Amino acid sequence: MGSDITRDFIGKEARFGARNYQPVPVVVDHARDCLVWDVEGREYIDMMGAYSAVSHGHLHPRIVAAAQRQLQRVAVTSRAYHGTTLGPFLEKLCTMAGFERALPMNTGAEAVETAIKCARRWGHRVKGIADGQAEILVARQNFHGRTSTIIGFSSEPDYRAGFGPFAPGFRHFDFGDIASVKAASNANTCAVLVEPIQGEAGVVLPPPGFFAELRDWCTRNDILLIDDEVQAGLGRTGKLFAFEHEGIRPDALILGKALGGGLLPVSAFLADALVMDVFNPGSHGSTFGGNALAAAVALEALLVLEDEDLVARSAEMGNHLIRRLRAVQAMAPELIRDVRGRGLWVGVDIDPGQASARELVERMARAGVLSKETHETVIRFAPPLTITTGLIDRAVDVFGAIVQAKSRAKAARPTPLADAALEPA
């Protein structure tokens, strides 16, 4: 795809980089809001939003300005000292999320690891589980990150193969099945760690009422409910937090991606004092977690989210996106098995017998729309929350044309029986 300059950049990554990614063959040069341009000047509509990390749009001017102001003062000192940006950021985050404490980290996986450590120590010190015996329940088809601990409790063979041995202390349940949760639990269960929507699994939604039942069961059994909203949080699903869709409150919340405003890796683990205060000086930390620059950027990202009413915009634009994608599905029901999602987070499930999700994604890229497949059968649509109806319509029109062309080509192709009938006797 593309000219010598495109092939040169792609070739250097292939030559000198580890082979742990398979990017769509587009070389991004610059971006603004919901538009991206490659090194050859071609324009694309970003319908991925960097897996929710660019929820505010690329290079939001207010967030860039906040970063520039802070870069004139101080960026990193470590948590060995206090600063002028961390406290205000934590205050705003806790106020918006409704928790008493927040522990800042960098990546989503680090925040998940923080949650695991906190849950185990809480299980021992507060619930009275023997040290080293606490267990955490996790859903099958989960995705919580890439560390060795986290992939150890993944149910995806490709994430685990050859990376063992893995840490014990995790038991699986079926996502959305409260009976399965109960069957997986025992006296040593200290927490349930779960995504409100399983993104990497293909934007899989729980059945209505599941999280309300789970919240009630955890409360009755003195078990922490830990909600991983690294992708789902901060407006992605049309609510500030996805747990609001069922009117519940988890015991702890994990945030990341959009918290960095599309500029920096920023994550956080939030809980009330009874849970969070199991940490003491020296028990956990991060050199870069909560650094002055990250805190300034994250605070501005939260303020922009409020000031521009991006949560309501996500709900409105998300409804439009889902309607448009379901209209495409109606034109090619044999190719598109399902369209599912909440807010601006939608998965289009492709029948692998009809088409390859990767093939469709690459065709979309050639036509100026950026997306990405997951698990080979689902195409994700998760643009910045600043997307307009006009850009959504342009992107879906491209997708619809590609789907129709693929569907027509499939229908016109002779079947094996027809081929046999054409052969001479």
* Active-site residue list: 143, 228, 257
User: Residue written as tokens 């009755």?
Assistant: 220
